[in-house]
Amino acid sequence: MKTIELIAPCHFGMEAVLKREIIELGYDISKVEDGRVAFIGDEEAVCRANIFLRTAERILWKLGSFRARTFEELFEGTRKIPWEDYIPVDGKFWVKKASSVKSKLYSLSDIQSIVKKAVVERLKRKYQINWFEENGQEYPIRVFILKDEVTIAFDTSGEHLHKRGYRQLASKAPIAETLAASLILLTPWKKDRILVDPFCGSGTFPIEAAMIAANMAPGMNRSFAAEQWKNLIPRKCWYHSVEEANDLLDDKIETDIQGYDIDGAIVKAARANARDAGVEHMIHFQERAVRDLNHPKKYGFLITNPPYGERLEEKEQLPKLYGEIGEALQRLSTWSAYIISSYEDTEKSIGKKADKNRKIYNGMLKTYYYQFLGPKPPKKPRSAT
């Protein structure tokens, strides 16, 4: 198979989590930058990365990179890429998105237009035609320029990878599935430990945790743009990857994952989402306020995305709400808590300073991931042999 370089964008601050996922999938990392991880693979890696990676935003197939400080250099650099090796004569192609950071070229519409024109000029010469019907398969192109370094790639994913296909019903401020998975993977939680989300909303944290526990590939029940690229990726690569995902799935395991919310309608929606994800039997959802949170089990995990005061709650209500979180943590003295919030007085209102704190962008909103670490459970005695 052909060796190619793939680029996986991710949430800023989650590069290490994604890097670990890619290495566990068996691929070598070629570069790590803010918000993206590049790695070396082959055609089948396109399939496996889309299906298995929990924390990637999408998978890009890198076609070329070059420096450009003028539109002429952008045009010439793009035209040098062997587009005829990728796009058939009837292929539909367009520049789906362009971005530019700290570069001389910053007009995104002009960047898109010039790249498209360069691709057309290259293919006109190679195919000896002046007009492209573009009625075949779709090949969306992405361009990003950082400090005058241009990278051009195909978008193999199509729909954003956070769209797992299970979240038909959402609360007012849901957390992206990819970010939720990243935050869970940042913790030492394992499937044999209890996990509770007292602000479960549409159920994203409990559902992603259940999928991790069951080793359920997040993309096994959805489609991708590159599935139609039969000229580039043999169908057997997709079949093998889906078969691998099915072989690894173990949804018969015993877990203790719970999701609470004060809104009964939201709890009902979360339960429906879990059913669509195929993990409803692994999660207990309940209508319950955080002030009532208590549990007899020890050494559990609280992972949650409480209201920030941005859209769901008025800011004056937050001190009381976060104070109730702090009271719950006092009752759950052996538990560890992981809370993502943009509320600036999170620690003050909870009444406890976090052991660790990580800045994370939830969309365009700057948030912090507060990590309150509980004691480690005693080691289980080894059984005599």
Sorting pLDDT into bands at 50, 70 and 90, what band is 132? confident
CA distance 340 to 342: 7
Q: Kindly state the tokens that stand for 321.
A: 């709400």
What is the token pair recorded at 59?
């998978």
- pLDDT band, very low/low/confident/very high, at 308 (cuts 50, 70, 90): confident
In this structure, the number of other CB atoms found within 10 A of the CB of residue 92 comes to 14
Name the pTM for this structure.
0.93
Residues 340-380 pLDDT 10s = 999 999 999 999 999 999 999 887 788 999 999 999 998 87
- Strands 301-304 and 283-287 turn out to be unpaired
Question: Strand 301-304 and strand 195-197: pairing?
Answer: parallel
Q: What is the pLDDT of residue 50?
A: 98
Distance between CA 270 and CA 276 in Å, rounded? 10
Instruction: Give the residues across from 5 on adjacent strands.
Output: 40
Beta-bridge partners for 140: 94
What local confidence, expressed as pLDDT, does residue 311 receive?
54
- The C-alpha torsion from 53 through 56 and 57 to 60, rounded to 10°, is -90
pLDDT over 50 (residue 313): no
The span from the CA of 186 to the CA of 20, in Å, is 11
340 is written with which tokens?
Answer: 């993502």
Contact at 8 Å (CB) between 353 and 380?
Answer: no
Q: Check: CB of residue 333 under 8 Å from CB of residue 339.
A: no
Residue 280, token pair as written in the block:
């409803």
Quick check: 358 and 369 in contact, CB under 8 A?
Answer: yes
Residue among 17, 14, 50, 61 at smallest CA distance from 34: 14
Largest CA distance in the chain: 79
| 334 or 316, which is more confident | 334
**211-222, pLDDT tens digit by residue?**
999 999 999 989
What is the structure's pLDDT at 192? Answer: 94
Q: What pLDDT does 81 receive?
A: 98
